[in-house]
A and B are shown apart, each in its own frame.
Chain A
Amino acid sequence: AQSVTQPDIHITVSEGASLELRCNYSYGATPYLFWYVQSPGQGLQLLLKYFSGDTLVQGIKGFEAEFKRSQSSFNLRKPSVHWSDAAEYFCAVVRNRDDKIIFGKGTRLHILP
């Protein structure tokens, strides 16, 4: 069965430090891959998506993610985090254009001043 794993439930980084959130998926072919962010009291917002082509994708708010087929990973990165990045981040997978989205359990990001 298709699944998506976010191994880190909580991550704490200092403001200004770099960030990497991990995401792994289990599916034979290359799925569509997404990262969503949920700020406190808000709904989820799409950060970025990967469908095909360049494996490094740029998103909003200075985030990027890299698709690595060999590792079945789609990790989210940001070179320098801001206090406003404190939120929960969800990786998501869609197997093909006709399939439903599967969300990971999320990683909650805490920012130290």
Chain B
Amino acid sequence: DSGVTQTPKHLITATGQRVTLRCSPRSGDLSVYWYQQSLDQGLQFLIQYYNGEERAKGNILERFSAQQFPDLHSELNLSSLELGDSALYFCASSVGGRGLAGELFFGEGSRLTVL
């Protein structure tokens, strides 16, 4: 158990819809990272938040947005969903936003299926 909690574990929705994925980081971790994993694209970094502020941005679509709340949990919002958005979405956390940035602790992921 990594200590990172993601909900829901599975989600099935239709094209054009909007979903919210939730992540609770490990106790004491200030950074949250979101990744998308699909068979064709592999593991893609989406975005990082550190203590409530956006720290780094990766290949995140404009239809996607995220935020980190004062209690440090994070939500990833996916809107106007397309079939190609079907993927496993991982949240990871780390102690800091700078320093030893590679030591990430991953949740078990939220599997999104868009029909």
Chain A: residues with CB nearer than 8 A to chain B?
32, 34, 36, 41-46, 49, 90, 92-94, 97-101, 103, 105-106
Contact = CB atoms under 8 A, between A and B. Distances in A.
12 contacts: A34-B103, A43-B2, A43-B4, A43-B107, A44-B90, A44-B92, A97-B100, A98-B98, A98-B99, A101-B45, A101-B102, A103-B45
A interface SS class? strand
B101 interface: yes
A15 to B, nearest CB: 26
Contact of A43 (B48, B56, B58, B109): B109
B40 to A, nearest CB: 11
**Residue of A44, A90, A97, A106 ringed by the most chain B CB atoms within 10 A:** A44
B11 interface: no
B43 interface: yes
Nearest to A90: B43
